[in-house]
Amino acid sequence: MTPTSSTLAPRSRARVLLARLEGPQTMGRGPAFWGTAFLAVAAAAAYPLMADAWTVGNAAYFLIWTFMAMGLGVVWGYAGALSFGQTAFFGFAGYAYGVLTLNLGAAYGLTFVALALSVAFGGLFALVIGYFMFYGRIQGVFIGIVTLSVTLVLETFMAQTAGPQWRIGEARLNGFNGMSGMPPLTLPWFGGDILLYPGPSLYYLLLGLVVVCYLGLRIMLNSRFGNVLVAIRENPHRVGMLGYDVRLYQMLAFGIGGAFAALSGALYTAWGQYITPSSMGLTSAALPIVWVAVGGRRDITATLIGTLVVLAGFQSLTIYGSQYALVVMGTLLLLTVLAAPEGLVVGAMKLLGRVFQRSKR
Amino acid sequence: MALFQSIFAMLYQFGDTFAFLVISCAGLAVIFGMMGVINLAHGEFIMCGAYVTASAARAGMPLPMAILSGALVAGIVGMIVERLVIRHFYHRPLDSIIATWGISLIATQGVLIVLGSTMQGVGTPLGSVEVGIRSYSLYRLVLMACALGLLGGLYILFYHSRFGVIARATIQKPQMALALGVDTGRVYGLTFGLGAALAGLAGGLYAPTMTMVPTMGATFIVESFVTVVVGGADIFVGAAPAAAILALIKAGLTAWYGQLFGQIGLLITVILVIRILPGGLSGWIKGTTR
């Protein structure tokens, strides 16, 4: 074990962090994996050069959801607490971004302040819910029920805010129709602000965020914190006996998952400049579960790939026959749980790994 | 007289909410209490019962018969679903939630595709009664009686019948029951079917008071889940007092602040209850009487 005390030079501390990019809790290691990952990012970065602005804006839309999926992966796949209510934090942060930007305006990079504040609010909200759940020591299926109830009640609450008395400062909540007209993310720049409408500039920002969050989560999951989370998933009693406060770790994991869902929510509002209560409804709440379950919940890479693949598939389905898309999603979910409980991408990655091992011998 | 009237109004409000909670959570509670499976397709079984009831009633069947046929159809669908899907998940309770959610997505959207976004319902029967200056729906009073009848019937079924004894034995010690010659697979199937039928009954009973849309099951979901969580793991001990307490809170808040605060009050109660009484009401009641 490498010592991590504060007396170490900053350079070796960075090396410790980098070493944690690989570890027992994440799949993929060695030059082959990182080479493929680098190629994938390079291809993603080159993509806007080949596609038109609308398609790039659409790809940015896919990237927005990956944060919520990775957060759910941490909460469900790693910490073992199945949350149905990630959309509660998504919608909460989406509304928070709307209210903040409509009141603060878009000058001086204040939209990014609003983004950061919304994520913080969403994370705090998740911590509060997590405190009551995990310190109440409820487990298993009950966590799912409570989180689902939270998101459904929030939806009902926001849907009835139609009257003119429901306003926060300049921002009217607008009930079932939702809020709209908030400014997009705005970068202050010499000679005029840059408005990040859906298009290449927003796409690059999101791509960078996805890479940073993905690598950050890999480091976190392979650190002591991540190892304890996985241990709690496997055997909470033993972890408690070893002297860890299981409740605290679960609550923190839930808060992190909530903050990631909140990041998705605030970015979504900034992307489309609208947010409605149905983003917290039953159907919306089901979608993150589908992405994560189909991709594979116990590995952050599989979650990321699975989410992008399922989203792309879902959208092409919506184009060809929108009404059948949800039926196909439901069937996909059912078949995955029945036939490949680990997830399709995890299965494929394990297969690839085995092929690689064999060819090396 | 004025005092009597306001007391009656409050009792009516309370009874109405109580009946709604008991009727809508019974199916969920039986499946969860007996099998440990959280059925997220609960709302869709309710929708199934309501649709069958409405179609049968409009085809000329008398309403009570139509309601029973709704329950029957939901029960049969439930047994089929148990045989095809749920059977594989008895050792993986978390995965069973996901699977039933998949079923729920398919059912809601499938009904929307096949039957359209709305269906003609049936009117509320039985008219109303006058108490003082206000009038009350007689059908809702019948629903309250149904809720009490349902609780009594379930108690008798599970504690004073052969099926109940076998079912409880199967739940507590499946291996032992199997060794004694019980067909445990059949008992699981029947129990799930019973839960689905109860959900269908809830749909049938409330069909005359609601709009028929494919997502109507969602209106029941929060309330029934909340009742089951507050009731705790032992459904027969916990569900009725949980429904009574929640009905008191919801009816009070609804009367003073409106519908929405009733629902938010329910949610806050649940979060506080799980913080103070992790085992739910049934855990607390059993703990004090032991």
On whether any CB of chain A is under 8 Å from the CB of B85, the answer is yes
On whether any CB of chain B is under 8 Å from the CB of A36, the answer is no
Question: How confident is the model over B278-284, as a mean pLDDT?
Answer: 72
Question: How confident is the model over A340-358, as a mean pLDDT?
Answer: 76
Question: If you count residue pairs, one on A and one on B, with CB atoms under 8 Å apart, how many are there?
Answer: 114
Closest residue in A to B223 (Cα) is A149
Are residues B260 and A129, on separate chains, in Cβ contact within 8 Å? no
Share of chain A above pLDDT 90, in %: 14
The DSSP letter of residue A8 is S
Closest residue in B to A142 (Cα) is B229
Answer yes or no: are the C-beta atoms of B24 and B43 closer than 8 Å.
no
Tens-digit pLDDT profile for residues A92-106: 999 888 888 888 776
Interface test with B, best of A76, A133, A153, A289 (most B CBs within 10 A): A153
Burial (CB count within 10 angstroms: exposed 0-12, middle 13-18, buried 19+), residue B47: buried
Interface test with A, best of B97, B216, B235 (most A CBs within 10 A): B97
Contacts of A326 in chain B (CB under 8 A): 105-106, 108-109
How far lies A160's CA from each of A25, A155, A156, A285, B213, in Å? 44, 9, 7, 19, 20
d(CA A176, CA B203): 26
Closest residue in B to A135 (Cα) is B275
* pLDDT beyond 80 at A45: yes
Position A252 scores a pLDDT of 93
Domain segments of chain B as ranges: 2-289
Contacts of A175 in chain B (CB under 8 A): none
Question: Which of A146, A153, A327 has the CB atom closest to B109's CB atom?
Answer: A327
Chain B 16-55, CB below 8 Å of chain A: which residues? 32, 38
* pLDDT beyond 50 at A282: yes
On whether any CB of chain B is under 8 Å from the CB of A318, the answer is no
Give a yes or no: residue A328 inside a domain.
no
On whether any CB of chain B is under 8 Å from the CB of A322, the answer is no
pLDDT band at A2 (very low <50, low <70, confident <90, very high): very low
What is chain A's length?
Answer: 361
Are residues B271 and A129, on separate chains, in Cβ contact within 8 Å? yes
Question: Which of A135, A149, A334 has the CB atom closest to B226's CB atom?
Answer: A149
Contacts of B109 in chain A (CB under 8 A): 323-324, 326-327, 330
Closest residue in B to A131 (Cα) is B275
The DSSP letter of residue B209 is G
Are residues B99 and A282, on separate chains, in Cβ contact within 8 Å? no
A128 CA to chain B: closest CA distance, Å? 11
Contacts of A137 in chain B (CB under 8 A): 278
Question: Which of B98, B221, B274 has the CB atom closest to A337's CB atom?
Answer: B98
- Torsion angle of C-alpha atoms A73, A74, A78, A80, degrees rounded to 10: -80
B217 CA to chain A: closest CA distance, Å? 11
The span from the first CA to the last CA of chain A, in angstroms, equals 29
Are residues B222 and A149, on separate chains, in Cβ contact within 8 Å? yes
Contacts of B92 in chain A (CB under 8 A): 341
Contacts of A332 in chain B (CB under 8 A): 102
* pLDDT beyond 90 at A124: yes
- Worst-scoring range by mean pLDDT, A50-59, A333-342, A352-361? A352-361
B267 CA to chain A: closest CA distance, Å? 7
Contacts of B267 in chain A (CB under 8 A): 149-150, 153
Tens-digit pLDDT profile for residues A50-76: 878 778 888 888 888 999 999 999 998
Interface test with A, best of B85, B105, B108 (most A CBs within 10 A): B105
Position A236 scores a pLDDT of 87
Position A1 scores a pLDDT of 45
Are residues A145 and B113, on separate chains, in Cβ contact within 8 Å? no
* pLDDT beyond 60 at A4: no
Answer yes or no: are the C-beta atoms of B178 and B205 closer than 8 Å.
no
Answer yes or no: are the C-beta atoms of A175 and A161 closer than 8 Å.
yes
Are residues B106 and A330, on separate chains, in Cβ contact within 8 Å? yes
Are residues B104 and A133, on separate chains, in Cβ contact within 8 Å? no
d(CA A232, CA A242): 11
pLDDT band at A260 (very low <50, low <70, confident <90, very high): very high
pLDDT band at B233 (very low <50, low <70, confident <90, very high): low
A143 CA to chain B: closest CA distance, Å? 10
Count structural domains, chain A.
Answer: 1
- The pTM of this model reads 0.81
Closest residue in A to B32 (Cα) is A141
Give a yes or no: residue A167 inside a domain.
yes
Give a yes or no: residue A306 inside a domain.
no
Domain around A131: 51-278
Tens-digit pLDDT profile for residues B190-209: 888 998 999 999 888 888 88
Position A191 scores a pLDDT of 62
On whether any CB of chain B is under 8 Å from the CB of A138, the answer is yes
Question: Which of A82, A149, A283 has the CB atom closest to B270's CB atom?
Answer: A149
What is the fold of B2-289? ABC transporter involved in vitamin B12 uptake, BtuC (1.10.3470)
3-state secondary structure of B73: helix
- Torsion angle of C-alpha atoms A201, A204, A205, A207, degrees rounded to 10: 150
Are residues B94 and A141, on separate chains, in Cβ contact within 8 Å? yes
B94 CA to chain A: closest CA distance, Å? 6
Question: How confident is the model over B231-250, as a mean pLDDT?
Answer: 78
* pLDDT beyond 70 at A196: no
- Under 8 Å CB-to-CB from B38, ≥6 apart: which residues? A141, A144, A145, B28, B31, B32, B93, B96, B97, B100
On whether any CB of chain A is under 8 Å from the CB of B165, the answer is no
Q: Which of A140-154, A312-326, B148-162, B262-276 has the highest mean pLDDT?
A: B148-162
pLDDT band at B276 (very low <50, low <70, confident <90, very high): confident
What one-letter code names the amino acid at A271?
W
Question: Which of A135, A156, A332 has the CB atom closest to B260's CB atom?
Answer: A156
Interface test with A, best of B28, B86, B92, B109 (most A CBs within 10 A): B109
Q: Which of A155-164, A221-230, B4-13, B127-136 has the highest mean pLDDT?
A: A221-230
Contacts of B108 in chain A (CB under 8 A): 326
* pLDDT beyond 60 at A5: no
- Under 8 Å CB-to-CB from A76, ≥6 apart: which residues? A82, A83, A292, A297
